[in-house]
Amino acid sequence: MFIAPRVADKSDWITTDTGDWEIIIGLEVHAQVASKAKLFSSAATKYGAEPNTQVSLVDAAMPGMLPVLNEYCVEQAVRTGMGLQAQINAFSRFDRKNYFYPDLPQGYQISQLYHPIVGEGEMVVELDDGDSIIVGIERLHLEQDAGKSIHDLDPGATYVDLNRCGVALMEIVSKPDMRSAREAAAYVRKLRSLVRYLGTCDGDMEKGNLRADVNVSVRRPGGELGTRCEIKNLNSMRFIQQAIEYEARRQIQILEDGGEIDQETRLYNTETNETRTMRSKEDAHDYRYFPDPDLLPVKLSKEWLDTIAADLPELPDAKKARYVKDFGLSEYDASVLVSDREKAAYYEEVAKGNDKKLAANWLLNEVFGKLNKENVDINDCPVSAAANCAIVSMISKDVISGKIAKQVFEICWTEGGDPEAIVEERGLRQVTDTGAIEAMIDEIIAANPDQAAKVKDKPKTLGWFVGQVMQASQGKANPQAVNKILRAKLLD
Ligand code: MN
């Protein structure tokens, strides 16, 4: 696969006293496989368990213990690779990456350097302004997570919790195809959405189940690539963006002062919004990688891969295309609705049996607007998709106006209840009986003869009468009927 080099939108360059700089970004995302058992042992992976209660003899690296590969984790890596439209390697193999950490008792991490399970792929990434970019995927490999060292429970000691030790991770490495912090954030957002659609990772960044290492370098546009620095373990979209911005400025400052960038691994301090040196950059040979003699190579049959491919759910890009083609939605509206699986499922339930565009508008403007304002997640929305479906249906059948619909939605939000029953019980049904509307209009015209006389010269003042009728009917008069009758009486 070939991805044409891309010159970033100039607005993404950092401009300084001595000219423009382009930022080059590549990401390594660690996504925890949504598996109940670890990659090489049957120990549980449940989050938040008592420390060291989910540790098998394999995870604790007792002498003579042998790892056994968890087939379910392999399947999730393959599914994710397929979602990334990537090469699935029928042959892959595990290697030992040797290093010492107190929370990694083996003294090495089992990873895949030479033969990863997934090779090159690509992903379309939508940006917040409606544009999109293509980001190349270098590889996806399986590896074990380490445990956790806890430094803040005792002033004089560090505690070690091995529950996370041996949990399966998918390391997804992008090509250096991003040119700004917002592009990097959009990439992580899309990747997160994709693994959540696939169900291969829950994407929970707060729990550290999806975290990013960010490689940043800067250069003069079109010039040679600069030396890069890697910022480790960023676990929120905001930190990813802030760390990139800070790091790019730091590097530009050094270069403009005539200095050189040292290739190194850095840590981002979320409190000071700065990066600092963690260690000077190691190369692969420092880890003495070699094939793990305890594990056989992984060979995947075509039949097995075909079964997995046949079982993939509809992914966001395909769903978006369907919404545009079959439902007539705009690209932008469709991409907002498919941005996560829950939103899309909710939308499809609201749209069931309804006008698809009306349902989309209702959801995007009213429901999502309210969720944003109240800072409520769609999964916790107090108004069910079925209730919204009923509201949209009443709008399209002229049972209620758009304005009354908002009222009904508010009632459902605060008091709960069935929208149709609310409309009946509270007499919110739209007045479409033209006789009743006409009677109201006659009364208002009779009470305001001067205003009525003005309308012929100033047709815009008709709006004043519309407002009066709507007020008199408590918002229940059908606005089209009101307009039509008023025009007939005052203009024609
Ligand atoms: Mn890794």
The pLDDT, as a whole number, for residue 460 is 85
pLDDT at 155 over 50: yes
Instruction: Tell which residue, 275, 273, 290, 179, has the closest CA to residue 225.
Output: 179
- Joined together, the tokens standing for residue 453 give 């006389």
> What is the per-residue pLDDT for 7?
56
Say whether both 77 and 205 belong to one domain.
yes
Are 318 and 457 contained in the same domain?
Answer: no
- Please indicate, yes or no, whether residues 263 and 347 belong to a single structural domain of this protein: no
> How many whole angstroms from 319 Cα to the centroid of ligand 1?
31
d(CA 61, ligand 1 centre) in Å: 19
Do both 327 and 298 map to the same domain?
Answer: no
What is the residue range of 476's domain?
434-490
- Asked if residue 335 and residue 408 are part of one domain, the reply reads yes
Choose the final residue of a domain: 305, 340, 375. 305
Q: Does residue 1 carry a pLDDT above 80?
A: no
For the stretch 163-216, pLDDT in tens is 999 999 999 999 999 999 999 999 999 999 999 999 999 999 999 999 999 999
Where among 253, 285, 305 does a domain terminate? 305
Same-domain check for residues 383 and 476: no
Residue 1 placed within a domain: no
54 CA distance to ligand 1 middle (Å): 22
Q: How confident is the model over 454-460, as a mean pLDDT? A: 84
Among residues 320, 79, 35, the alpha carbon closest in space to that of 195 is found at 79
Per-residue pLDDT for 5 more than 90? no
Say if residue 213 is in the same domain as residue 266. Answer: yes
Strand order in the sheet with 290-291: 108-111, 95-98, 290-291
Tens-digit pLDDT profile for residues 322-370: 999 999 999 999 999 999 899 999 999 999 999 999 999 999 999 999 9
| pTM to 2 decimal places | 0.86
- Does a structural domain hold residue 2? no
Of the pLDDT bands very low, low, confident and very high (cuts 50, 70, 90), residue 429 is confident
Q: pLDDT value at position 432? A: 76
Q: Report the percentage of the chain scoring pLDDT > 70.
A: 97
Q: Which of 277, 305, 333 is the last residue of a domain?
A: 305
Task: State in Å: Cα 374 to ligand 1 middle.
Answer: 38
Give the per-residue SS3 of 107-147.
Answer: CEEEECCCCCCECCEEEEEECCCCCEEEEEEEEEEEEECCC
Q: Is 282's pLDDT higher than 90?
A: no
Distance 6 CA to ligand 1 centre (A): 27
Instruction: Give yes or no for a contact between 375 and 400, defined as CB atoms under 8 angstroms apart.
Output: no
Lowest mean pLDDT among 5-9, 20-24, 85-89, 301-305: 5-9
Q: Which two tokens stand for residue 413?
A: 């939000």
CA of 47 to the centre of ligand 1 (A): 20
Residues measured by CB to lie within 5 Å of ligand 1, the ion: 171
Distance 212 CA to ligand 1 centre (A): 10
Is there a contact between 183 and 136 (Cβ–Cβ < 8 Å)?
no
Do 296 and 327 share a domain, yes or no?
no
Q: What is the pLDDT of residue 452?
A: 85
Confidence at residue 480, expressed as pLDDT on a 0 to 100 scale: 82
Q: Is the pLDDT of residue 427 over 90?
A: no
The mean predicted confidence, pLDDT, of the chain is 92
For residues 216 and 322, membership in a common domain is answered with no
d(CA 118, CA 90): 9
- Tally of domains within the chain: 3
Q: Any idea what the CATH number is for the domain that residue 447 is in?
A: 1.10.10.410
In Å, how far are 181, 219, 255 from 273, measured between CA atoms? 14, 23, 21
pLDDT over threshold 60, residue 103? yes
pLDDT score of 222 = 84
356 with 409, same domain: the answer is yes
Residues 265 and 356 in one domain: no
150 and 27 share one domain: yes
3-state DSSP assignment of residue 169: strand
Name the 3-class secondary structure at 54.
Answer: coil
- The string of pLDDT tens digits covering residues 225-242 is 999 999 999 999 999 999
Q: Which has the closest alpha carbon to 115: 352, 254, 298, 248?
A: 298
Please tell me the distance between residue 23's alpha carbon and the centre of ligand 1 in angstroms. Answer: 23
Give the mean pLDDT of 423-432.
86
For residue 2, what pLDDT is reported? Answer: 47
CA of 361 relative to ligand 1 center, distance in Å: 42
Ligand 1 center–CA 307 separation, angstroms = 29
> What CA–CA distance (Å, rounded) separates 70 from 41?
7
